[in-house]
Amino acid sequence: MKINTITPDEAVFTKLLLDIAERPKALYFIGKLPEGRPPTVAIVGTRRPTSYGKEVTYKLAHELAQRGVVIVSGLALGIDSVAHQAALDAGGVTLAVLASGVDNITPRSHVGLAKKIVAAGGAIISEYEPGTDARDFQFLARNRIVSGLADAVIVTEAASRSGTLATVSHALNQGKDVFVVPGNITSPMSAGCNALIKQGAQVLTSADDALEVIAPTLLQPQTSLALGDNPLETKIIQLLQAGLRDGDELLARAEASASEFAQALTMLEINGIIRSLGGNTWTLR
């Protein structure tokens, strides 16, 4: 694929990078940069997310991308990849900023995801020349570009010593809004998020929380809750809306036979109303 080269001042979308510390001299990218300056958020977090972290990241990225918000992240394992995939599933645009050359995708397991990002109208971006290997210090430096391209940064799950906090630091220095998803106080993977909230970060519990600040015109009126094609499907939807996730508990509360329940789940998944979180757990899309 063709590797393009620009300086930050050559595209409207990248001009925000002119105001960050140690602004990049050049940007290399494969794919297409957004035209103009659409609302853009960076979604970042731990490389070892819990099922909760994956769920909230997917939900937020999917809803924001559906409404036309560009999703930026770092293509890393964990939260980054969930955010990218959710944006793709929503038919939106997502950008991945690398700590290596754009022809040297890191991690290698995400080569396929990188290709999907480009095919969907997004881009793979780096300040490093093609052929450059990823090094530890480059990941930290890369984070200033992740936040620099965004109007706001969302942290969905992070431990107390997470590298994600470096992105938050860059965002604050750049004058960006920082939103943090609160987590379980007993979960080490939420310790960083909860600490940021105690320090004054904005609490985020829905996509609307971010849109109210960065793009209020994209806010949508409340829509009616989804209904199934039969009473059992509707019951499952209501249980998921109430916060249940475990398949066995859903089955018990739905008061249906195992075969009827399995068929209902299958149809709800086919119709795009629910999705599997793995491990016999489910959530609404």
Give tens-digit pLDDT for 247-258: 888 988 888 899
The CA distance from 135 to 2, in Å, is: 24
pLDDT at residue 220 in the model: 66
The model carries a pTM of 0.80
Tell me which residue has tokens 């997502």.
Answer: 94
Q: 208 pairs with which residues across the strands?
A: none
pLDDT at residue 224 in the model: 52
Does pLDDT of 240 surpass 90?
no
The CA distance from 37 to 53, in Å, is: 29
Report yes or no: 281 and 259 within 8 Å, Cβ to Cβ. Answer: no
Q: Work out the percent of the chain whose per-residue pLDDT is above 90.
A: 71
**Identity of residue 143:** N
pLDDT at residue 12 in the model: 95
Look at 101 and 281; give whichever has higher pLDDT: 101
Give tens-digit pLDDT for 63-80: 999 999 999 999 999 999
Report yes or no: 282 and 274 within 8 Å, Cβ to Cβ. Answer: yes
Structural domains of the chain, with CATH: 4-218 (3.40.50.450), 231-284 (1.10.10.10)
CA neighbor of 85 nearest in space, from 51, 106, 115: 115
Report yes or no: 193 and 182 within 8 Å, Cβ to Cβ. Answer: yes
Give tens-digit pLDDT for 146-191: 999 999 999 999 998 888 888 999 999 999 999 999 999 999 999 9
Report yes or no: 26 and 7 within 8 Å, Cβ to Cβ. Answer: yes
Does pLDDT of 89 surpass 60?
yes
The CA distance from 156 to 152, in Å, is: 13
Pairing of strands 123-126, 27-31: antiparallel
pLDDT at residue 225 in the model: 57
CA neighbor of 96 nearest in space, from 82, 117, 111: 117
pLDDT at residue 15 in the model: 96
